[in-house]
Amino acid sequence: MKNFASMLKQAQELQGRMAEMQAELENVTVEGSAGGGLVRISLSGKGDLKEVRIDPSMAKPEDVEILEDLLVAAHFDAKSKLETELQEKMKQVAGGLPLPPGLGF
């Protein structure tokens, strides 16, 4: 029974650390870019789109299709960076405890 109590305590500690991490995510911002920085996208730690910056040179009607592709690429870049950061935070929160695959936010 002591083993069960120990596991329960570890689970409660993990739950507390995960709640802290979720609160920290409110302050995290990642930026993705594409086209050598012509398009930049900022995401919050929860994956919400916060900002889009487009170099003025991309505001030509003949470049709209390229701009659309760059927006998608910059969003993918930012999302990838966010996922990497979240994985690192999850490792810190878990403190060596094994987590099920796909556990995330």
* Neighbouring C-alpha atoms within 13 Å toward the C-beta of 11: 7
Judge whether 52 lies within some domain: yes
Judge whether 104 lies within some domain: no
Judge whether 43 lies within some domain: yes
**What is the domain range of residue 46?**
2-94
pLDDT the model gives residue 69? 92
Q: Using an 8 Å Cβ cutoff, are 47 and 82 in contact? A: yes
Ranges under pLDDT 50 in the chain: 104-105
Structure tokens at 20: 């802290």
Q: CATH no. for residue 8?
A: 3.30.1310.10
**Domain total for the chain?**
1
